[in-house]
Amino acid sequence: MDNTQTLLGLLGTGPSYGYDLKHGYDRYFGSEKPLAFGQVYATLARLLRDGLIDLLGEQAGSGPDRKRYEITKVGRARVAAWMFTPDAPEPLLQSNLFAKTVIALLLGDDADLLLDVQRAEHMRRLRELTAAKRGADLMKVLVCDHAMFHIEADLRWIDLTSARLTELRKQVTGA
């Protein structure tokens, strides 16, 4: 996920402080990996430098001054361009799992076992995501569904590769 564009988009909802942006990000996107405050402030500094946001002012407090930011017209255009530019599907046709399978065959190792171990890990993650969906709000359910669909696609690939392993072994090793 592009944290810079996401923070810029959140700022598009109205002027905000870095502290509040961080908490908004974590609320919507950071359940698995919250954003660090340092990353938020470094990103805000770059957005300010690039003219995508403006500094509205500073408010003195007991700690560091709180800075309030607002998105610019250029920033809004950047968010719109980002939102409506489709993400390319996985750009690389060869995954790490594919590479491991071929290497296992080249080394004469048990590629069936490798695929079984990976299948078990995928199934464990599916169970974990299924449990996370129980009683969750819609945003969490949709995030889990997205991850689950990717895992299910990987599982289909693992099953298909397992079924074709003899043929793949012949192609890879020439035997």
pLDDT of residue 30: 82
Q: What pLDDT sits at residue 48?
A: 96
Name the residue range of residue 16's domain.
3-83
* Per-residue model confidence (pLDDT) at position 93: 58
Residue carrying structure tokens 């361009």: 81
> Of all helices (H) and strands (E), which one includes residue 54?
strand 53-59
**What is the model's pLDDT at position 58?**
83
Domain end call among 23, 52, 83: 83
Same structural domain, 70 and 102:
no
Above 60 in pLDDT, residue 91? no
pLDDT bucket at 63, cuts 50 / 70 / 90: low
Name the residue with higher pLDDT: 30 or 152.
152
What is the number of structural domains in the chain? 2
